[in-house]
Amino acid sequence: MAVITMREAISQALWEEMERDERVIILGEEVGVWGGTYAVTKGFYDHFGPERVRDTPIAEAVIVGAANGAAMAGLRPVAELMTINFAFLAMDQIVNHAAKLRYMFGGQMSVPVVIRAVGGGGRQLGATHSQTPDAIFAHFPGLKVVAPGTPHDAKGLLKAAIRGDDPVLFIEHATLYQFRGEVPDDDYLEPIGVSKVQRQGSDVTVVAYSKTLQHALQAAEQLAQEGIQIEIVDLRSLRPLDMGPVLESFKRTNRAVIVEEGWRSYGVGAEVAARIAEEAFDYMDAPIRRVAQAEVPLPYNQALEQMALPQVDDIVSAVREVL
């Protein structure tokens, strides 16, 4: 097991899949000569060449649209969106095309595309560059939405996304790229649509994913000092959503806190809470609590921005409240 960063894990997944399968190509803004604006594809252009690592114009609709078309015609394109905020410019290609073509044409077409998008706030980039709109994309049947919280899962899930035949939106949190974790040395895949218990505990079920997984793990350390043991279920995929481990845990703890970086209204927490209520109401001993972003466009000022984002202390407080 090597300890590597999230950036290295994602980069390795791409590199290994490109070595493995010539049909895998990368396209996006500054993925080639520049090496990726988050340096994920550094060195790719020189190694794989301009035919496989394609710098595009700044034109998100055609980046995703051309990736969809190339996927329909037999390639396995990985389109990179510099930030998920720009995915709104490609929304129609993501939700009206990638997600629907197989179904709408009676199963004739496959769109094995991966759309990598950098999401999340916390870097003082202002309201239009800091969003966590994961739940919006998870709303659409036909699309798979993956948002890993560890280097291990990032590498295994990205490889699975590239090898799979369905369209995947792969969300990478901008502030996790330097986060380090253990990654197996051999080739491995993580299944899409499978949640994972990242820490065992018996008092409260905490559901998290992506950046909030790391917040939840820190909260667990603090709470453990008070003798409170939380169990952390990492969703990893928002669609398909695997509620199995969440419900199994909830039936033991009878209490749940759901943490997401996006806004509370109509969000991931709302969905998970509703499913718990529908499927495990008899096990509920306390109201379910949601920890989420304040319902404001994220401000530039650092103190204000951090006030709006969910913090470790918010999780700690919410856990205490449900006990």
Partner 1 sequence: MVRETPARTREGASMDEKELLRLFHEMVLIRRMEEESARLYQEGKIGGFLHLYIGQEAVASGIISARRPQDRVITAYRDHGAAIACGIPVRAVMAELLGKATGTSKGKGGSMHLADVQRNFWGGHAIVGAHLPLAAGMALADKYLGKDAVTICMFGDGATNIGYFHESLNLSMVWKLPVLWVCENNQYGMGTAVERASAVGEIRQKAEGYNMPNRRIQGMNVLEVRQAAEEALAAVRDNDCPFFLEVLTYRYRGHSMGDPERYRQSEEVQRWQQDDPIGIFRNYLLSEGLFPDEALSAEEAGVEQEVEQAIAFAEASADPPPEALYQDIYKEG
Active site residues: 60, 129
Applying CB under 8 A, does 165 fall inside the site for partner 1? Answer: yes
Query: Which residue, 109 or 197, is less far from partner 1 as judged by CB?
Result: 109
Selected binder of partner 1 within 53, 72, 268, 280 (CB under 8 A): 72
Tell me how crowded residue 253 is: count the other CB atoms within 10 A of its CB: 21
CB-wise, 63 or 220, nearer to partner 1?
63
Q: Smallest distance from the beta carbon of 211 to partner 1, in angstroms? A: 26
What's the token pair of residue 9? 């894990």
Residue 200, number of CB atoms within 10 A of its CB: 11
User: Least distance in Å: CB of 206 to partner 1?
Assistant: 26
Among 7, 29, 54, 117, binds partner 1 (CB under 8 A): 54
CB 80 within 8 A of CB 68: no
Question: Whose Cβ is closer to partner 1: residue 107's or residue 227's?
Answer: 107
Q: Does 174 bind partner 1 (CB under 8 A)?
A: no
49: left (phi over 0), alpha (psi -120 to 50) or beta: left
Binding positions for partner 1, 84-113, rule CB under 8 A: 92-93, 96-97, 101-110
Minimum CB–partner distance for residue 113 and partner 1 (Å): 9
The CA distance from 66 to 226, in Å, is 54
Shortest reach from residue 308's CB to partner 1, in Å: 32
- The tokens describing 74, both together, are 């037999």
Residue from the set 5, 35, 126, 193 that interacts with partner 1 by CB under 8 A:
193
What secondary structure letter does DSSP report for 223? Answer: H
Q: Measure the CA–CA gap between 179 and 151, rounded to whole angstroms.
A: 8
Note whether 302 and 271 are within 8 A (CB): no
Question: Judging by beta carbons within 10 Å of its beta carbon (0-12, 13-18, 19+), is residue 168 exposed, middle or buried?
Answer: buried
Per-residue interface string for the shown chain with partner 1, residues 216-255, x marking contact by CB under 8 A: ------------------------x---------------
> Looking at this protein, which amino acid is placed at residue 21?
D
Nearest residue to 217 (alpha-carbon basis) of 230, 227, 228: 230
CA 122 to chain centre: 16
Q: Which is nearer to partner 1, 35 or 164 (CB)?
A: 164
- According to CB under 8 A, which one of 6, 14, 66, 78 is a site residue for partner 1? 66
**Residues at the contact surface with partner 1, assessed by CB under 8 A:** 25, 51, 54, 56-57, 59, 61-62, 64-75, 77, 92-93, 96-97, 101-110, 141-142, 144, 164-166, 193, 240
